[in-house]
Amino acid sequence: MKILETSKFQRLRKKIREEAERNSLKEALTEVEKNPEAGKKLKGEFAPLRSFPYTVKGQARRLVYRREKDMIVFFSFGPRGGIYRQPGEKKWGIGASAA
């Protein structure tokens, strides 16, 4: 299965400084790659996406992705509060292909 990361995902990943957070994310990515249906289906404007829960030092995080025919596109990760929108952004390009 092919794996793609959006530019937002790549930026967030580069900003990780703590080893524990890096390892937790890596484990979550591995789980999703093994079982793309593991995440919960989201609703509303985010209906095409899935959210996979994981923890970093006891704090809840989410990994947001979309499964397509033969690939998984990772959009974002982090605490629930700010994960779905960034300041100045209205929506993700859900209908468009990932970059």
Residue 69's pLDDT band, with cuts at 50, 70 and 90, is confident
**Which whole number is the average pLDDT over 38-53?**
92
Distance (Å, whole) CA 30 – CA 18: 19
**Helix count (H) and strand count (E) of the chain?**
3, 5
Asked whether residue 96 carries a pLDDT value surpassing 50, the answer given is no
Give the pLDDT score at 87: 45
**Which whole number is the average pLDDT over 9-20?**
93
Could you say which DSSP state residue 20 is in? H
**Which whole number is the average pLDDT over 74-86?**
78
The full set of domains in the chain, from first to last, is: 2-78 (3.30.2310.20)
